Structure 1
Amino acid sequence: MTRSALAALLAALCPVPASAQQDASRPETGRADIVRIMDVLAGIRCEIAPDDIEPTRSGYALHDVLCPDGRYEIVLDDSLQITDRRRQ
């Protein structure tokens, strides 16, 4: 059996964990995107740790956003417009 056939067989027989499947389909957040998101949040006097930025298929989910009046979950669309903001 050739290596490529063996690799294909192993890939078919070995399930991939759901977390790995999600990571493969999720877009990456680049440094420029993080800076732009931080600028948007600075405009509303909020801040976030880069690790709390989660890319989605339609934009970004921002977790644990710290604002002067509390902590929020914020959703941005792909043009970085706030589409949802919920206090935690």
Structure 2
Amino acid sequence: MKRFAMLTTAGLLAAPAFADDIDAETVAKIEAYLASVECQMDPDDIEVEDDGYDLDDVICKGGNQFDIKLDKDLNEVSRKAE
């Protein structure tokens, strides 16, 4: 049991930052960008990365689901269908 607890704690330390760690203005800008490309997502699925943001489970017009990466300036750099 101790080993599991240590692994879990170690995993939490290496985990990416989520929307709670992003200021409300940035979340609003990301949501506005998604709306402009006819997509939406749960803001809790925004992950902060060293080079920008990883948007998980983005649903776009037509029901297609994607993972989208944005750079620090909120420019889309990749989109991968799920």
Structure with more strand by fraction: 2
- What is the Cα deviation at residue 16 of structure 1? 8.5
1:71 has 2:65 as partner? yes
In 2, Cα distance between equivalents of 1:19 and 1:55: 16
Q: Percent identity?
A: 28
- Distance in 2, matches of 1:87 and 1:15, equals 31
Compare relative contact order (CA 8 Å, sep 6+) and give the higher one, 1 or 2: 2
- When Rg is computed on C-alpha atoms for both structures, the one with the higher figure is 1
Choose which of 6, 22, 35 in structure 2 pairs with 1:29: 22
Structure 1: runs of 5+ lacking an equivalent: 1-13
The 5-angstrom pairing of residues 45-56 of structure 1 reads 45-56=38-49
User: How high is the TM-score relative to the length of structure 2?
Assistant: 0.77
Q: Partners of 1:53 and 1:45 in 2: how far apart?
A: 17
Question: Structure 2: any 5+ residue segments left out of the alignment?
Answer: 1-5
Residue identity matched to 1:32:
E
Give the deviation of 1:20 after TM superposition: 3.2
